[in-house]
Amino acid sequence: MHGFETRAIHAGQEPDPRTGAVIPPIYATSTYAQDGVGGLREGYEYSRTGNPTRAALEECFAALEGGARGLAFASGMAAEDTLLRAVLRPGDHIVIPDDAYGGTFRLVSKVVERWGVSWTPVPVGDPDAVRAAVRPETKIVWVETPTNPLLGVADVAALAAVAHDAGALLVVDNTFATPYLQQPLSLGADVVVHSTTKYCGGHSDVVGGALVAADAALGDELAFHQNTIGAVAGPFDAWLVLRGLKTLGVRMDRHCDNAERIVALLTEHPRVAQVLYPGLPDHPGHDVAAKQMSRFGGMVSFRVADGEQAAVDVCDRARVFTLGESLGGVESLIEHPGRMTHASAAGSALEVPGDLVRLSVGIETVDDLLADLTHALST
Ligand SMILES: *Cc1c(COP(=O)(O)O)cnc(C)c1O
């Protein structure tokens, strides 16, 4: 098998047979001419069911995650919704992280629950807690690692064993790590979920999602639901994500390089009370992260010593770091989770500390990022 970057650049992307175009065209078409009734060309019939640009992306995703089948969706949430509807039935149970991505928490607690599915939020960093939470009706153990915004780490191999002992699937949301840094299917997970809006797209110019199934039969089942539900990635969006994936490796290396320099600055800074980064030896998930990730990623959170208002002020004073939600683009972003991405979690089990600041470290010149944070942290 070819190396990661070779797959990212070539998988699913043979030069166009007619023109030799090296980049898959954006097939902006809803339907396809048939050579006589039922005479489909390469199986293409209607673009909800299949589109060559999307197919290229789907094949590339399967190759990058090492799965039997990849599927591309209109958003990360569309991918999650399709997966949950494909697998769950009334009476089933799902285990979710107690610090799940807010949209995942909302989907499970406000929508999936209404179909008669019960759920238990669990600290998935503790495999024993997950083992205690699974029941005969448990069909999915859902994991994110690292988590948002506290950068908790879950042991994918250990949780795969727990899920499989219970007859459940292990689903890993691999949005933060990307397949470049972490390959959950190789650790025993059954399905990988992505918000391709983040690092995979990588340029903050597209919203998208993906699923990759380890097993072909489950992949076919998910494809049936993808076509039935219809929340597919459009051809232009698929093309943007495909373009983003080509540089995923070099971008992630630079995200990690810059994040490491920023972590070094923050850990020495007198106004920073705590730095949350799985690459730090004192991070509770460091050993597991070191085992299952090749590097520790571009997301860094820290707590400001003087409390919530000081944390808000740091966010307001940054200039090169853009104040904004989302993550994973080439540009650096700063945000206050308690009042922005995680405001809706206030008062719930998912509430985050008010003195917390989250950085999505971009790939700008690192000295500019360091100077900007030094300025933002000055009093
Ligand atoms: C953004 C995100 C999602 C949701 O993806 P959308 O593309 O916004 O629908 C899911 N999981 C994680 C970890 C995310 O960061």
Mutate to test the pocket of ligand 1, among 99, 144, 195, 199 (most ligand atoms within 8 A of CB): 195
The CA-to-CA distance between both ends of the chain, in Å, stands at: 53
Give me the pLDDT at residue 349, please. 73
Alpha-carbon span 90 to 106, nearest angstrom: 18
Strand-pair category, 272-276 with 333-335: unpaired
Cα-to-centroid distance, 195 and ligand 1 (Å): 4
Give me the pLDDT at residue 344, please. 79
Task: Classify residue 5 as exposed, middle or buried by CB count within 10 Å of its CB (0-12, 13-18, 19+).
Answer: middle
Alpha-carbon span 210 to 220, nearest angstrom: 14
CB 158 within 8 A of CB 110: no
Nearest CA to ligand 1 atom 2: 195
Cα-to-centroid distance, 20 and ligand 1 (Å): 35
Give me the pLDDT at residue 379, please. 80
Give me the pLDDT at residue 351, please. 85
Q: Which residue has the tokens 């795969």?
A: 160
Give me the pLDDT at residue 103, please. 92
CB 351 within 8 A of CB 121: no
Alpha-carbon span 66 to 371, nearest angstrom: 40
Structure tokens given for 177: 């790590």
pLDDT digits (tens, 9 = 90+) for 42-55: 999 999 999 999 99
Give me the pLDDT at residue 248, please. 98
Nearest-atom number in ligand 1 for the CA of 209 is 7
Checking 38-45 for CB contacts under 8 A at 24+ apart, the result is none
Domains belonging to the chain, first-starting first, are 4-246 (3.40.640.10), 249-376 (3.90.1150.10)
Give me the pLDDT at residue 345, please. 78
Cα-to-centroid distance, 339 and ligand 1 (Å): 18
Cα four-point dihedral sign 194, 197, 198, 202: positive
Half-sphere exposure of residue 362, counting CA atoms within 13 Å on the CB side? Answer: 22
Give me the pLDDT at residue 30, please. 98
Helices 248-268 and 235-246 cross at an angle (nearest 10°) of 70
Residue 178, helix vs strand vs coil:
helix
DSSP codes of every residue in 279-332: TSTTSTTHHHHHHH-SS--SEEEEEETT-HHHHHHHHHH-SSSEE-S---SSS-
> Counting every residue, how long is the chain?
379
Cα-to-centroid distance, 163 and ligand 1 (Å): 23
Nearest-atom number in ligand 1 for the CA of 77 is 9
Cα-to-centroid distance, 255 and ligand 1 (Å): 19
Nearest CA to ligand 1 atom 8: 76
Prediction pTM value: 0.97
Which residues contact ligand 1 via a Cβ below 6 A? 75-77, 101, 103-104, 144, 148, 173, 175-176, 195, 197-198, 207, 209
- Residues recognised as catalytic: 48, 101, 173, 198
pLDDT digits (tens, 9 = 90+) for 201-234: 999 999 999 999 999 999 999 999 999 999 999 9
Helices 366-376 and 248-268 cross at an angle (nearest 10°) of 40
Write phi, then psi, for 268 (nearest 5 degrees): -90, -10
Nearest-atom number in ligand 1 for the CA of 176 is 13
Listed as ranges, residues in the chain with pLDDT below 70 are none
Nearest-atom number in ligand 1 for the CA of 103 is 4
